[in-house]
Structure 1
Amino acid sequence: MSRFDTFVVVDWSGGNDRGPTAKKDAIWACIARDGQVEGPVYQRNRQVAEDWLRDLVETEIAAGRRLLIGFDFPFGYSAGFCRALTGNDDPLALWDWIESRIEDAPKGNNRFDLAGEINRRIGNGRGPFWGNGLRRDIDGLPRNKANYANDFAERRACETLAKGSFSCWQLSGAGAVGSQVLMGVPVLARLRRQFSETVAVWPFEPLDTPVALVEIWPGLINPAVKQAEANGELRDAAQVRLLVRALSRLDPATLGELLAVDAPEEGWIMGLGHEERLMKAASTPIAPPPLRNDCFALPAGVAWTPVEDALDMLRTRLRPVTRTETIPLQDASGRVLAQDVIAARSNPPLPNSAVDGYGFAGGALEGPHVLPLIEGRAAAGVPFDGIVPAGHAIRILTGAAVPGGVDTVILEEDVTCDGRQIAFRGPLKSGANTRKAGEDVVAGDVALRAGREITAVDLALMSAVGVAHVPVRKRLRVAVLSTGDELVEPGEAVAAEQIFDANRPMLLSMARAFGFDPVDLGRVADDREALRDQLDAAAKSADVILTSGGASAGDEDHVSALLQQAGAMQEWRIAIKPGRPLALGLWHGVPVFGLPGNPVAAMVCTLVFARPAMSLLAGAAWREPQGFDVPAAFEKRKKPGRREYLRARMRDGRAEVFASEGSGRISGLSWADGLVEIGDGARHIRPGDTVRFIPYGGFGL
């Protein structure tokens, strides 16, 4: 079985706890679930990573998802080693042998001692392991390869083919894969034992279980990793992100080819020999699947669609159509996050002072206190190099890292100081006027979620947590096209029966205000073949197309006719005033919104329907217009059956509406600063009654 729902890649480490702040040469993991790649996750030590892996396996099994987890360390040793140590050729028995003897804690482990023991047992104390990374000598473990002897092959068969790979016998120094093996297989052995009915290890066992553990190596996609590293991404994080992206993009047949190997003792690097496929899958910009032709289809028998039903259908059927890219932080304002942003550093990174004052330990009881003042001070960016003795105080400024021996800060305004000592009155709680490390955001946590439109304050947050490059969606390209023989360009000669094109400049400006890239396609006369050519051009240059005019079923309604011919058109007769006809379809896979030709109706339909739909297409969240309940300054009787939008403005705390509801009165759009929304039912509104007012800004204008 080679079909998986969830892929995980783990970059392992044989070293000690790396602390709360995300850093290189640590354990990193990344998940791709149902084709969606999440942000890389920092794991400070193996204990944390093991708990994370255990929870992950339980979660995926419970959800009925099939899981493949790739680890970047060898699963086996050179032929003959397993039998020499355990008496048989089963590499999984060797896992259990190592697991039973490895002692591991966040700050230390016995891997070097165990390697020395193995060397003394089967290698006369001169190999196969080498590379003692401790200060003390270890009997049987050489510090380097001087006087080194190895009765087994220096590299496994797969490693002789993997350019740049390292030997699993090396325990210290650059490329110390051997330490990763000794500290990795015990974790996998425990996972395998705990989930004995659901976990299989490749290539030693058949992959007919819900969870597969495989060996993989980021060196197979090193050019892509180097490019990400050059763009400012931490190498370890880039490795897991790109490699899991590559695996998740492989079809089951290709994945089956990668898994079809025979290496029953030594194991194998998954993907070896298929580097070009993996590189292509890792490097190609992410692209969402195309929309289906039925994404705009109405349920059978539907004639008039209520506004809420139309919005629900758009909300549930549309998905992002934009590709992703990684850009510098300073260029990210207004863009849509393509992935969760993971904090690379805690904010604040260290405990610090919230005020200018004096720091000491333990707080203070009620009553007067006098403390001797030590020399020196702590300032932001200039920490105090030392420990403040108990019963003493130190001068500390806002933002300064709290020195050792200090947990409380008193405001300078509450202190009398003579240069040698300070006097103040309690009580003062321990920890007062200090900020804890990570009290805002902890390294490794999600700082911002995918789909968020990045604001100026988001740039501040990402900068504070050490993010220099941001994965974003490319801006949605919105093509705007006007249709009709009656249209001419402002400034051109115009006949009495012609009108100037008002829709196109309005819609292009709206697209720009929404944060999209407008693409001006000009105007097309009522010529079906010319319109076809323009739609073809739009499909190549845009992600979504807005047309105005020609969206009904008349002889000259060519937008509807062409979409019908393409087999991907729906005419939504929506119970809305103004703007009932709305043609929706796909042209060469690109969504088309056929808006009414009337400017008032075109604007209302764009704000109510196209705006939130384009937000989804751009990769952001569905955008609900932000409205307010306010008193009416008008009277209106409304019949049931349609939702109405009136051009309105706020004056003296009340909503006024434009004097005429005629949809040809474009001046009412400029007169207004928003819309009053009146629900589908019958209503008699009198002055002072509550109505919902949506300012243009509530739609994002």
Structure 2
Amino acid sequence: MSGFKRIIIVDWSASKVPSPKKPSPDAIWMAVHRAGATTCTYHRTRSDVIEALCAQFDEAIAQDERVLAGFDFPFGYPVGFARAVTGRDDPLALWADLAARIEDGADNANNRFDVARDLNGLFPGVGPFWGCPAPLADDNLPAKGTSRHGHGMAERRKVEDLIRSAQPCWKLYTTGSVGSQALLGIARLERLRARYGAALSVAPFQASDTPIVLAEVYPSLLAHEVAARQAKDEIKDCAQVRVLAEAFAGLSADHLDAMLREGDAEEGWILGLGHIDALSAGLERYPPPLKNDCFALPQGVNWTPVEDALADLRSRLGPVVGVETVPVTDALGRVLASDVDAVRAHPPLPNTAVDGYGFGGGRGSGVHRLPLVAAQMTAGRAPDMTVPEGHAIRILTGAALPDGVDTVVLQEDVSREGGAIAFHGPIKQGANARAAGEDVRAGDCIAGAGRRLTPSDLGLLTAVGVGTVQVRAPLRVGVLSTGDELVEAGGTAGPGQIYDANRPMLLGLITQLGHVAVDFGRVRDDRAALSACLDVGANEADVILTSGGASAGDEDHVSALLNEAGAMALWRIAIKPGRPLALGMWQGTPVFGLPGNPVAAMACTLVFAAPALAQMAGAGWSEPQGFDVPAGFEKRKKAGRREYLRARIRDGRVQVFPSEGSGRISGLSWAEGLVELPDDALHVRPGDPVRYIPWTGFGV
């Protein structure tokens, strides 16, 4: 078995607390190379990266893709250590032992020093583990390596003798403490072995012929290549895992398989050692992107996938509006703040569904004649009488059934002769009658909290006796345009100026989404003016949408101000159109910094703002409702970004607007929805199913 479809490289950390929220060095970074593209992600805890790894493994298994996952900590120890601890030379028996000893919490709190102290107790003398905070040092775990003696273990593995810059696996504290990384990392990987069973193997301890292969790597192996390929603002740890993933991906399947078979079966091995020239040659397949390709994703930048951005928004946001009580007649379009129960049943009493004659019980075949009582039941009359057995009563649609009546025969099927009726059977008992509460029973929940009330809902609420409801106050959404180039609609546009199309478009969109749109006008490219405008917006609106200024240029003040406020949550979303999307907070008020191009502003509002606004309004997270339609177009798409194309359906196939330029606002008027293309590379041919989301699918 050969041919890895995914190469994953993880830069590990033994930190005892979560890493900073802002992507930082000396933390956990993961690179995933697939389909010719590499994505780097930052993880604050070991639990977080393991969860991300499992998601990759599960997806790969489902798609029948092999995975090579490399980790930058020792997989083994010098010869003799496994036997001293477990009584066997098997390194994987040692893995199981360490996993049973290590406690590593979701917040990175762990007991690695206690475990090392206990392990040292299995050896004569002092050691081999060393290094810990001074208050934790004792005779079994010294703070300095020079305090060890007589433990009988080699200081370095064979592979570390070949890479002198590699730290020994006994060192637990301060710079280069790979010993702590190994204790915590091996315990985590052993749990992966338990989860994936025979689908996972560990090189070089096992044959690497499984769907998932784990291997030890050393990111500094290609230090020269990393230095040459590191982007200007790229964190070195990120560059290391990215470059190493691409180097392994550039090898032939046979070469990589041969490398996985190398190394010591007890001590382990660093994958790629001795093959630096081949790894460097493999990198030639992945040159840096052209500087003039504005649509290329810069290598090594922590681009946030759409799904991750949406999940982050969903976890951060909740209802931000108050609650009030209003009459049902005034509740159209409002969001329920609490469940509503039926005050009474519907129908409240058994009644007839037709005009006809009512009697008790069904009737078999043949002609039936029943005398009529001298009364008539009409809608609204109280059922204050009893119809004797063998008699019938004239009854009109909607009338309650009096005692003695449970069946109705249509008047069209009856002949009336004086004071009696005749009709042909058979007729089943209960025919043409409605049971009390067959639609809704008293006390049933008929509308849940978070529902935006429709005209049909108002009818139902009224029918079951509900007069008032608790609803959320309307969400106030401020809309602000930024840029010196903007001119108000109907004004005079000078050279280099454009009309502010985004603001009326977004105000209308917010209104159609069911919120109160607040027009904050335009603000020039001036940081102080924008800051003042945001101050006003934070007081007058529950959330603010800006357009323009969300990228990283000299005049992109929205993202700059949110960064200065320390409240920038996400940006550089892997989406097209709409790459420069700023998401942050200003004085406690959420701010969506939308791109300035109209198409990108519209797409980002529908994809990100619409579900977030629904959640803040108390209506819960809204997933866009789309469906698969045969493509009426052809398109080749690169991996790395989710793409949305302006589209409409004609003759049973979905068409897309001829130009993908995010400034082509005419395409929005032409379109009736969007085609959503996934993050992976794709070649769409006419007739292929693609996901089409009409405007109504976004709630518009």
Structure 1 length normalisation: TM-score?
Answer: 0.56
Show the 5 A alignment for 1:576-587: 576-587=575-586
Q: C-alpha separation between the residues in 1 aligned to 2:564 and 2:620?
A: 32
Q: C-alpha separation between the residues in 2 aligned to 1:502 and 1:434?
A: 58
**Does structure 2 retain, via aligned residues, the 8 Å contact 1:477–1:519?**
yes
Matched, 1:634 2:654: no
**Does structure 2 retain, via aligned residues, the 8 Å contact 1:377–1:384?**
no
Q: CA offset at residue 650 of structure 1?
A: 1.2
Aligned to 1:304: 303
Task: Give the secondary-structure state (helix, strand or coil) at the position aligned to 1:536.
Answer: helix
Structure 2 unaligned regions, length at least 5 = 1-299
Q: CA offset at residue 570 of structure 1?
A: 2.5
Aligned to 2:376: 377
Matched, 1:426 2:425: yes
Show the 5 A alignment for 1:606-685: 606-685=605-684
One-letter identity of the residue aligned with 1:369: H
Q: CA offset at residue 320 of structure 1?
A: 0.6
Aligned to 2:552: 553
Q: C-alpha separation between the residues in 2 aligned to 1:421 and 1:633?
A: 68
Show the 5 A alignment for 1:208-227: none
Q: CA offset at residue 427 of structure 1?
A: 2.0
Q: Give a deviation string over 1:227-285, Cα, whole Å, max 9, x none.
A: xxxxxxxxxxxxxxxxxxxxxxxxxxxxxxxxxxxxxxxxxxxxxxxxxxxxxxxxxxx
Q: Give a deviation string over 1:87-113, Cα, whole Å, max 9, x none.
A: xxxxxxxxxxxxxxxxxxxxxxxxxxx
Q: C-alpha separation between the residues in 1 aligned to 2:338 and 2:384?
A: 40
Show the 5 A alignment for 1:56-455: 303-455=302-454
**Does structure 1 retain, via aligned residues, the 8 Å contact 2:364–2:427?**
yes
Q: Give a deviation string over 1:661-680, Cα, whole Å, max 9, x none.
A: 11111111111111111111
The root-mean-square deviation of aligned C-alpha atoms, in Å, is 1.4
Q: CA offset at residue 491 of structure 1?
A: 2.2
Q: Give a deviation string over 1:423-462, Cα, whole Å, max 9, x none.
A: 1122222222111111111112211111001000000000
Q: CA offset at residue 633 of structure 1?
A: 1.2
Matched, 1:499 2:485: no
- Rg (Cα) greater in structure: 2
Aligned to 1:180: none
**Does structure 1 retain, via aligned residues, the 8 Å contact 2:309–2:570?**
no
Aligned to 1:461: 460
One-letter identity of the residue aligned with 2:652: G
One-letter identity of the residue aligned with 1:376: A
Aligned to 2:562: 563
**Does structure 1 retain, via aligned residues, the 8 Å contact 2:626–2:691?**
yes
**Does structure 2 retain, via aligned residues, the 8 Å contact 1:451–1:620?**
yes
Q: C-alpha separation between the residues in 1 aligned to 2:352 and 2:389?
A: 18
Q: C-alpha separation between the residues in 2 aligned to 1:302 and 1:377?
A: 81
Q: CA offset at residue 610 of structure 1?
A: 0.4
Q: Give a deviation string over 1:462-484, Cα, whole Å, max 9, x none.
A: 00011111111111100000111
Q: Give a deviation string over 1:622-672, Cα, whole Å, max 9, x none.
A: 111121211111111111111111111111111111111111111111111
Q: Give a deviation string over 1:591-634, Cα, whole Å, max 9, x none.
A: 11111111111100000110011000000021111212111111
Show the 5 A alignment for 1:531-546: 531-546=530-545
The percentage of aligned residue pairs carrying the same residue is: 68
Task: Give the secondary-structure state (helix, strand or coil) at the position aligned to 1:523.
Answer: strand
Q: C-alpha separation between the residues in 1 aligned to 2:349 and 2:542?
A: 45
Q: C-alpha separation between the residues in 2 aligned to 1:621 and 1:361?
A: 49
Aligned to 1:183: none
Task: Give the secondary-structure state (helix, strand or coil) at the position aligned to 2:646.
Answer: strand
One-letter identity of the residue aligned with 2:304: T
Aligned to 2:597: 598
Q: C-alpha separation between the residues in 1 aligned to 2:658 and 2:673?
A: 14
**Does structure 2 retain, via aligned residues, the 8 Å contact 1:376–1:384?**
no
Task: Give the secondary-structure state (helix, strand or coil) at the position aligned to 2:517.
Answer: strand
Aligned to 1:110: none
Q: Give a deviation string over 1:557-593, Cα, whole Å, max 9, x none.
A: 1111221222211232111111012111111111111
One-letter identity of the residue aligned with 1:574: I
**Does structure 1 retain, via aligned residues, the 8 Å contact 2:387–2:405?**
yes
Q: CA offset at residue 406 of structure 1?
A: 0.8
Aligned to 1:189: none
Q: C-alpha separation between the residues in 1 aligned to 2:372 and 2:316?
A: 67
Q: C-alpha separation between the residues in 2 aligned to 1:458 and 1:621?
A: 18
Structure 2 length normalisation: TM-score?
Answer: 0.56
Task: Give the secondary-structure state (helix, strand or coil) at the position aligned to 1:556.
Answer: coil
> Which consecutive aligned stretches of 4+ in structure 1 deviate over 4 angstroms post-superposition?
none
Q: Give a deviation string over 1:12-42, Cα, whole Å, max 9, x none.
A: xxxxxxxxxxxxxxxxxxxxxxxxxxxxxxx
**Does structure 2 retain, via aligned residues, the 8 Å contact 1:571–1:581?**
no
Q: C-alpha separation between the residues in 1 aligned to 2:620 and 2:362?
A: 47
Structure 1 unaligned regions, length at least 5 = 1-300
Q: CA offset at residue 302 of structure 1?
A: 8.0
Q: C-alpha separation between the residues in 1 aligned to 2:601 and 2:396?
A: 58
Show the 5 A alignment for 1:46-57: none
Q: CA offset at residue 303 of structure 1?
A: 0.9
Q: C-alpha separation between the residues in 1 aligned to 2:415 and 2:301?
A: 80
The alpha-carbon distance between structure 1 residues 404 and 302, as it changes in their structure 2 partners (threshold 3 A), is farther
Task: Give the secondary-structure state (helix, strand or coil) at the position aligned to 1:442.
Answer: coil
Q: C-alpha separation between the residues in 2 aligned to 1:379 and 1:491?
A: 63
**Does structure 2 retain, via aligned residues, the 8 Å contact 1:339–1:471?**
yes
Q: CA offset at residue 384 of structure 1?
A: 4.8
Q: CA offset at residue 348 of structure 1?
A: 0.7
**Does structure 2 retain, via aligned residues, the 8 Å contact 1:373–1:419?**
no
Aligned to 2:155: none
Q: C-alpha separation between the residues in 2 aligned to 1:615 and 1:673?
A: 22
Q: C-alpha separation between the residues in 2 aligned to 1:634 and 1:506?
A: 28
One-letter identity of the residue aligned with 1:587: W
Q: C-alpha separation between the residues in 2 aligned to 1:483 and 1:319?
A: 27
Aligned to 1:146: none
- Length, aligned pairs only: 401
